[in-house]
Amino acid sequence: MMQALTVAEEKRLGVGSEEFMQRHEEIMEMIDKVMQKDKAAGCKRREEKETKEVVEKEVVEMVTLKEASSRTGISYDRLRKMCINRQIIHK
């Protein structure tokens, strides 16, 4: 029964036709553009937010980056970059 419904819907939509494939490509290109734009904006906002959170959360004891990541929820790589950029003071 589901197979018959699927076949009927594919036929109704014209799946595989030149028009269908062209529209599919247009939609995928629009999605890619939006995702790239959001990713660029989101990365900047996320970095600013994470930097602010780390500054607000004072860590009194020395811990490994792995431990700091699990405690703060900030990725290991981001914490490492913050140390390199002297956004986090470490000894």
> 7-57 pLDDT, tens per residue?
888 888 888 888 888 888 888 888 888 878 777 776 666 666 666 665 555
Model confidence pTM above 0.85 = no
Q: What per-residue confidence (pLDDT) applies to 56? A: 55
Whether 76 contacts 58, CB under 8 Å: no
Whether 13 contacts 20, CB under 8 Å: yes
Q: Which of 25-29, 54-58, 61-65, 77-81 is least confident?
A: 54-58
Q: What per-residue confidence (pLDDT) applies to 9? A: 87
- Report in angstroms the alpha-carbon separations of 79 from 6, 38, 66, 83: 48, 22, 9, 6
CA distance 47 to 78: 8
Among residues 67, 65, 53, which one has the least CA distance to residue 90? Answer: 65
Q: What per-residue confidence (pLDDT) applies to 14? A: 87
| Number of residues written out for the chain | 91
Tally of CA atoms within 13 A in the half-sphere of 81 that contains its CB:
8
